[in-house]
Structure 1
Amino acid sequence: MDPKFFDMPRYLAGSPLFSGLSSNELARIAQSCQIRSYTKGEMIFSLGEACEAFHMVVAGQVKLFVVSPVGQEKVIEIISPGQSFAEALVFLNKPYILSAQALAETVLVNVSKRGVFSEIEQDPHFALHMLAGVSRRLHGLIQDVEAYALRNGMQRLIGYLLRDVEMDAANGQSTVTVSLPASKATIASRLSLTPEYFSRVLHELEAQQLITIDRREIRILNVQKLAGYGSP
């Protein structure tokens, strides 16, 4: 993607963080943004680096993760196009508390902390847009804590497969196909499961004729039965 032909104000206008802003406001924010491409496996930032921007995914995917003292990696989140990350960190004046890595060829819009602070000073209502973004991230983290505390591994995996499936809309469908956004090992870490357990559960669901597996393509054969499988 050639940055010279990227319409930054138009892109920002389509983001939940910046929708509803005037053309002048979008133009000011756009001046503080940079578009950057990352190759698969390239680090975007590492734990302890200074946080001078938050990031919006235009294309590709980003893995947010931490590494334990013994070298074990824990995936916190997988960020897809249309999503943003590190919004809250720009207000803390502290280094990044985790690391980010491109899982594929990835394009990001990096929104500088300087530009965000400047816009808030000019228009306090802009802070509401930022608070909304931070709130969405907090809501997602609360859902994760709830899942880890109250659901077993089988339920967490099923919940992940059905996360974007509208149950009512799926009633009349014979099958629904879900594409895993990353490797099974990465998603297993995201769900706090071992890769071996993740694969074992997938094959159990396949043996029960609830899904079929074709690499990263998971075909759900019966949404309602899958949703109820493994529940008490």
Structure 2
Amino acid sequence: MAIQKIDPREFLKRQPLFQDLGPEELSAIAAGTVEVHAVRGQPIFQRGDICHGFHTVVYGQVKLGFVSAQGNEKIVEIVGPGHSFGEAVMFMDRPYVLTAHALADSLLLHISKKVMFDEIDRNPVLARRMLSGMSRRLHGLIADVESYSLRSGSQRIVSYLLNEEPPADGARFTLSASKKMIASRLNLTPEYFSRVLHELVARGMIALRGREVTILDLQRLRAFES
């Protein structure tokens, strides 16, 4: 069965980065945009590949990470719909420093470096928005380093759970990735991550069913996080 192509302009104009662009500007960017259909587990790019632009996720999930010399995978970021990745490397004109894999069947848009640079030359607002987005990501990475350095593993796990959805007693959500990947994202071992989750269950703070989490005692969770 043929895959139905989307009109990239319809997706791009809903993104904060492009929302103030006019039809002609959107058409110019769309002309340098290519659909990337990736099945679960498929690599999007490998560390060391040449960067020719950046990606934004229409649907699905992408993990960004690297493998250590010991063969251990470290997840740096999990990117979902409406978010983008690869902008910083595009501006640095360097090869990718991370590897990207699809965590689920995904549709991405790859926006070429040339078309973005041409549009940025014409539209300084677009440049400021891209800088703002990269600054927010840098701030998030600094917060991660601070968390790894100053917070215990259990505090990191509780903070992650409270940030998955707007927290409230009875709130129910599904973990956005496997427990192994979330553990890597939090710089923890999968065994430690599972043990803390079961401790929270035993203490009556959460209920756990597979990847589905229910908040049972928000007040105690927040106290546990601090």
What corresponds to 1:30 in structure 2? 30
Given that residues 159 and 225 in structure 2 are in contact (C-alpha distance below 8 angstroms), is that contact kept between their aligned partners in structure 1? Answer: no
Map of 2:57 onto structure 1: 57
The answer for the alignment partner of 1:226 in structure 2 is: 221
**Partner of residue 157, structure 2:** 157
Q: Distance in 2 between matches of 1:166 and 1:213?
A: 17
What amino acid is the match of 1:10? Answer: E
**Residue 10 of structure 1 pairs with residue 10 of structure 2:** yes
Amino acid at match of 1:138: L
CA contact (8 A) 1:176 1:223 kept: no
Which residue of structure 2 lines up, in the alignment, with residue 189 of structure 1? 184
Q: Residue 210 of structure 1 is aligned with which of 205, 214, 224?
A: 205
- Residue identity opposite 1:155 in structure 2: Q
Gaps of 5+ in 1: none
Question: What's the counterpart of residue 116 of structure 1?
Answer: 116
Counterpart of 2:144 in structure 1 is 144
Which one-letter code corresponds to 1:220 in the other structure?
I
TM-score normalised by L of structure 2 = 0.95
Cα distance, 1:89 vs structure 2 = 0.9
How many aligned positions are there? 225
Distance 1:207 1:164 in 2: 21
> Which 4+ stretches in 1 moved above 4 angstroms?
none
Instruction: Tell me the distance in 2 between the aligned counterparts of 1:21 and 1:90.
Output: 21
Matched residue, 2:195:
200
- Measured on the aligned residues, the alpha-carbon RMSD in Å equals 1.4
Residue 230 of structure 1 deviates from its aligned partner by: 5.2
**Does residue 39 in structure 1 map to residue 34 in structure 2?**
no
Residue in 2 that maps onto 1:178: 173
Displacement of 1:101: 0.3
SS at match of 1:71: coil
Aligned-pair CA distance for 1:186? 0.6
State how far apart, in whole Å, the 2-side matches of 1:214 and 1:50 are: 42
Q: Identity over aligned residues, as a percent?
A: 48
Structure 2 unpaired stretches of 5+: none
Counterpart amino acid of residue 119 in structure 1:
E
Question: 1:178 deviation in Å?
Answer: 2.2
TM-score, scaled relative to structure 1:
0.92
**C-alpha separation between the residues in 2 aligned to 1:34 and 1:137?**
24
